[in-house]
Amino acid sequence: MIDTKKRRFFVFFSLFALIALVLLIRYSILMLSPAPQRPPPRSRSLTERGPILDRNGRFLALQTRLANISVWRPEIRDMEVLSQDLAPILEMPADEIRERISLAPSDFVYLKKQVDESTVRMINSLKETDRLRGVAVEPIVGRIYPERNLASQIIGFAGDENNGLAGIEYAFDRELSGENGAGSQVFLTIDANVQHILEQIAAKTLEETRAEAVMLTAMDPRSGDVLGSASLPGFDPNDIRSSDETGRMDRPAIWAYEPGSVFKVFSLAALMDAGAISGSSVFICNGRYERVTSLGERILINCLGAHGRVSAREIIIYSCNAGAAYASDRLGSDAFYGLLRDFGFGSRTGAGNPGETAGFLRPVERWSDRSKPTITMGQEIAVSAMQMLQAATAIANDGLLVPPRIVSRIVSADGKKVQTWDAGPSRRILKPETARTMRDYMVDVTSSIGTGWRANVEDLSLAVKTGTAQIIDPVTKAYSNTDFIASCIALLPAESPSLILYLVIVKPQGEILGGRIAAPAIRESAEALVDYLGIPRGRNPQLDHSPTVVLPADRPIQITGQVPDFSGLAKRTILPLLLRDDLHIEIRGDGWVRRQSPAPGTPITPDTVIILELE
């Protein structure tokens, strides 16, 4: 018995001694090992990413010098002091800084990424006093978007690694990134002034209608250039972390919806061009379209009213559902489908957005007996706003369809290589007389008896069509009785259009009819853009003059050892100065320089901060 106890004691003591020896060896190794070292700074490319500019050379996206702020936990002397010092500089609560450092899974912690130059200067000045031991500044290059929300869904944004993640930044990432340290310049067809006007009117419409979203686009049908494309709600690409998916959505390109009665312009143009109907064709509207199929199915489509005897012109003027449906009976489904495909429905336009939708147009073999009359009036088909603009070019250009484009040209960093960018070739899809007849009908829509009379502009002829469409409930798969899309399209001047305007209001609250809530915004847009673009009208006559216009060139900025006089310089002229490492410049506002600090002639030192106020 005693031997057994001795053996047990010996085994227990041996195990204990072995564990103690292992622990002793382990801690000896740790004590003799060198202290953990801060990881080397990450190697980041400082490649000059090319700018994105509007059609007039106004900067919409620009490269700038930024920095990431990190900490190395083993070097921190006093967490409380460090967090209190950094809080006002990084605009973060001190508690959040302490928590982020303490709970990080490793000793190396990023506190804030892509901070500006003024933040870096404040941190570096404190680091000189040894108060920020453990804090590091990692220089990087990044993007700034000087016009903030303007055309933000089109432009997109770049990520922390300075690579494009959405919009033009993503679609043309290879061209913008470039080779040999410099990326190309991407010029858009967008006019920043047109874009600003559209976004202002869209914001007003969004507020007045209490809608979920608003799209307002402007396009030159002759070239396919999209001059402006407002999509609200929007976002600021300078503050991408505060945005959401809804705000970042480029709705005119990627959102598909049923267009409603605006679509009658294209369906009736197709029927007329095919010879199925003519201007003298007459249909009877007693308030509904009714037909019994060969299988005994009763098809019923309601109209907004009983319009009596209607021609193609009156179908457009009154937006008569029954008349449009009866007109569709005169053309076979295969031929009708082919004509709609000619307009571009069911295919991407190639305008420039990588996520562009193809819409939804089912092949004929999947149509029911009610599909053709329903599609004719803008249901059972889904389109994008870009597709509607593209289709409208055929009406505006006497039958010639011109694909839309958002990018006009790509210019190499040295300016020696210029690549013109096109969405695709133009093609004739309608007879000239068909397109002119349809525009003539659309002009009457703005008359006192038409649905678009609220879009009428004094001394300017507009070809207009309004629309109101029910939205399908995603749960019940039936048309909603509460959710609608109100819209209006306009071609101007109607005789020879040089501008297409298209407005879509998604889920307005209260009034829902396009003729009442969309047409007034189209009129406001036309009034503003006609004057800006110089479109002929009664009170804005065009004068013959020399085709040569001489504009004063911006004076070159020469900076030696003194602060120059910036007064009167445009923002786009001074933006490139942000890229210089030897200058600290802050730009406030938009337009032209009205005030500056320090005054011209002040000696420039390494600590000099030049503040320019623009109006």
Report residue 82: phi and psi, to 5°.
-60, -45
User: Looking at domain 52-178, which of 3.90.1150.10, 3.90.1310.10, 2.60.120.580, 3.40.50.720 is its CATH number?
Assistant: 3.90.1310.10
Report residue 252: phi and psi, to 5°.
-60, -25
Judge whether 134 and 47 are in contact, CB under 8 Å. no
DSSP track, 326-384: HHHTTS-HHHHHHHHHHTTTTS---SS-TT----B---GGG--TTHHHHHHTT-S-BB-
Report residue 307: phi and psi, to 5°.
-90, -5
For the residues 22-45, what does the mean pLDDT come to?
A: 52
Residue spans in the chain of domains classed CATH 3.90.1310.10? 52-178
Please tell me the predicted confidence (pLDDT) of residue 204: 97
Beta 463-472 vs 479-492: how paired, if at all?
Answer: antiparallel
What is the Cα–Cα distance from 22 to 327, expressed in whole angstroms? 93
Measured CA to CA in angstroms, residue 97 lies from 128, 464, 470 at distances of 21, 58, 50
What is the Cα–Cα distance from 20 to 425, expressed in whole angstroms? 82
Going across the sheet that includes 585-588, the strands are 585-588, 610-614, 593-597
Of 290-299, 374-383, 495-504, 566-575, give the lowest mean pLDDT range: 566-575
List the one residue out of 304, 265, 312 whose CA is nearest residue 288: 304
Measured CA to CA in angstroms, residue 555 lies from 325, 558, 564, 568, 573 at distances of 63, 9, 12, 10, 9
Confidence band of 551 (pLDDT split at 50, 70, 90):
very low
Residue spans in the chain of domains classed CATH 3.30.10.20? 553-615
The number of beta carbons lying within 10 Å of the beta carbon of residue 559 is 13
Give the single-character DSSP code of 592. Answer: B
What is the Cα–Cα distance from 576 to 62, expressed in whole angstroms? 8
For the residues 255-279, what does the mean pLDDT come to?
A: 96
What is the Cα–Cα distance from 358 to 345, expressed in whole angstroms? 8
Measured CA to CA in angstroms, residue 27 lies from 30, 33, 484 at distances of 5, 10, 72
Task: Give the end-to-end CA distance of the chain in Å, rounded to a whole number.
Answer: 101
Size of the chain in residues? 615
Regarding pTM above 0.85, the answer is: no
Residue-averaged pLDDT of the chain: 87
* CB crowding 418-429: b at 16 or more within 10 Å, else e: eeebebbebeeb
Residue spans in the chain of domains classed CATH 3.40.710.10? 196-533
- The per-residue pLDDT for range 158-205, each reduced to its tens digit, is 987 788 999 999 999 999 987 666 889 999 999 999 999 999 999 999
What is the Cα–Cα distance from 551 to 35, expressed in whole angstroms? 66
* Dihedral sign of CA atoms 183, 188, 194, 199 in order: negative
At residue 26, does pLDDT exceed 60?
no
The two structure tokens encoding residue 200: 């202002």
Helix (H) or strand (E) holding 445: none
Classify domain 553-615 at the CATH topology level: Trypsin Inhibitor V; Chain A (3.30.10)
C-alpha radius of gyration, the chain, whole number: 32
Q: For the domain bounded by 196-533, which CATH number is listed?
A: 3.40.710.10
What is the Cα–Cα distance from 49 to 155, expressed in whole angstroms? 14
At residue 507, does pLDDT exceed 60?
yes
At residue 577, does pLDDT exceed 80?
no
DSSP track, 151-217: THHHH-EE-TTS-EEEHHHHHTHHHHH-BTTBPPEEEES--HHHHHHHHHHHHHHHHHHT-SEEEEE
Amino acid at 339: L
pLDDT higher for 43 or 80?
Answer: 80
What is the Cα–Cα distance from 476 to 133, expressed in whole angstroms? 61
What is the Cα–Cα distance from 190 to 54, expressed in whole angstroms? 5
Measured CA to CA in angstroms, residue 99 lies from 95, 102, 107, 123, 226 at distances of 6, 5, 13, 20, 48
At residue 311, does pLDDT exceed 70?
yes
For the residues 282-292, what does the mean pLDDT come to?
A: 93
- The per-residue pLDDT for range 431-473, each reduced to its tens digit, is 999 999 999 999 999 998 899 999 999 889 999 999 999 998 8
DSSP track, 23-50: HHHHHHHHHHSPPPPPPPPP-----BPP
What is the Cα–Cα distance from 479 to 456, expressed in whole angstroms? 31
What is the Cα–Cα distance from 287 to 64, expressed in whole angstroms? 63
Please tell me the predicted confidence (pLDDT) of residue 540: 47
* CB crowding 437-456: b at 16 or more within 10 Å, else e: bbbebbbbbbeeebbbbbbb
Secondary structure in 3-state letters for 242-253:
HCCHHHHCCHHH
Judge whether 263 and 383 are in contact, CB under 8 Å. yes
At residue 483, does pLDDT exceed 60?
yes
Judge whether 60 and 158 are in contact, CB under 8 Å. no
